[in-house]
């Protein structure tokens, strides 16, 4: 079974975000595998171990993503591919990433593609479905369970606090939701083996794409941090007076009633 994982390099969830010249300041920041993509990598490894085959992790970005790809290899993936866009794409969006990934995958013998449900930096959840549409294959998002029997997949997906069961056929793209599994930590032997596993780097030219083919469909107008929260207010006095004061604050200051 040929399994591909779509992986993104994102800010560490503990990292403090700062803005400089209208852009997110990356100087000195720590980066990690997008947490939802860790579920995707783990699931891919488990499917491979159960059914045989190979797991290839693919990322679109700059050379800095090699570190996260090596981590995926240390977790147990077999191969990694970095599609380096540093010299070709100044500003990209979900369309850009999806177009590049689909172009890479279109000639591959794909049985299963797994991505994270969302990236914690953008949170759009668009890339997986867009890739599936471009490849003209079925896709199911926010999955919490995956069973494969032959060329049939039975999937449980999260739907706003409930779940539904869907049966479909391979090839298939799914996106991983929290609860699908418990991602493993890279072991020391895994880290040592990862150094010898193949990590290929290609560019847009290798995919017969140029900058115009992947030009972003959206434009970022402004980036800003949320306003600082003001200190809370403690109401004092009799309960009846507190209620009146609270209603007045909600009406006059918060403007929610």
Tell me, yes or no, whether 243 lies in a domain: yes
Tell me, yes or no, whether 221 lies in a domain: no
Burial class (CB in 10 A: 0-12, 13-18, 19+), 191: middle
State whether 169 and 131 are in the same domain.
yes
**pLDDT score for 84:** 94
Q: Name the helix (H) or strand (E) containing 101.
A: helix 94-105
State whether 197 and 232 are in the same domain.
no
Tell me, yes or no, whether 222 lies in a domain: no
State whether 257 and 144 are in the same domain.
no
Which domain range does residue 232 map to? Answer: 227-257
State whether 180 and 251 are in the same domain.
no
State whether 130 and 233 are in the same domain.
no
| CATH code where residue 192 lies | 3.40.50.620
Distance of CA 31 to the CA centre of its chain: 13
**pLDDT score for 157:** 94
State whether 133 and 9 are in the same domain.
yes
Are β-strands 139-149 and 172-176 bridged in parallel, bridged antiparallel, or unpaired? parallel
State whether 158 and 256 are in the same domain.
no
**pLDDT score for 103:** 95
State whether 256 and 185 are in the same domain.
no
What does each of the 257 residues of the chain score in pLDDT, given as a tens digit? Answer: 999 999 999 888 777 777 776 677 767 778 899 999 999 999 999 999 999 999 999 999 999 999 999 999 999 999 999 999 988 887 888 999 999 999 999 999 999 999 999 988 877 889 999 999 999 999 999 999 999 999 999 999 998 888 999 999 999 999 999 999 999 999 999 999 999 999 999 999 999 998 889 998 888 887 777 777 777 778 888 898 889 888 888 888 777 76
State whether 50 and 108 are in the same domain.
yes
Q: How many domains does the chain have?
A: 2
**Structural tokens at position 114:** 């797994």
State whether 234 and 146 are in the same domain.
no
41: helix, strand or coil? helix
State whether 107 and 77 are in the same domain.
yes
pTM of the model: 0.85
**pLDDT score for 16:** 75
CB 120 within 8 A of CB 128: no
**pLDDT score for 234:** 85
């Amino acid at each position: 079974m040929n399994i591909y994982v779509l992986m993104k390099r994102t800010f560490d969830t503990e990292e403090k975000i700062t803005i400089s010249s209208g852009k997110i300041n990356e100087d000195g920041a720590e980066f990690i595998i997008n947490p939802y993509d860790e579920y995707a990598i783990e699931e891919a490894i488990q499917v491979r171990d159960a059914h045989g085959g190979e797991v290839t992790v693919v990322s679109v970005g700059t050379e800095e993503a090699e570190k996260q790809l090596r981590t995926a290899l240390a977790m147990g993936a077999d191969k990694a591919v970095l599609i380096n866009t540093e010299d070709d794409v100044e500003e990209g969006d979900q369309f850009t990433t999806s177009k590049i990934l689909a172009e890479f995958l279109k000639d591959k013998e794909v049985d299963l593609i797994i991505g994270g449900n969302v990236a914690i930096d953008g949170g759009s959840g668009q890339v997986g479905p867009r890739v599936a549409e471009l490849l003209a294959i079925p896709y199911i998002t926010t999955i919490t369970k995956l069973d494969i029997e032959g060329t049939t997949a039975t999937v449980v997906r999260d739907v706003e606090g409930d779940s539904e069961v869907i049966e479909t056929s391979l090839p298939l793209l799914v996106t991983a939701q929290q609860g699908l599994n418990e991602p493993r930590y890279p072991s020391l032997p895994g880290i040592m083996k990862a150094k010898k596993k193949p990590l290929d780097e290609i560019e847009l030219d290798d995919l017969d794409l140029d900058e115009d083919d992947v030009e972003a469909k959206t434009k970022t107008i402004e980036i800003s941090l949320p306003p600082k929260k003001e200190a809370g207010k403690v109401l004092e006095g009799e309960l009846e007076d507190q209620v009146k004061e609270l209603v007045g604050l909600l009406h006059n200051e918060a403007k929610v009633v």
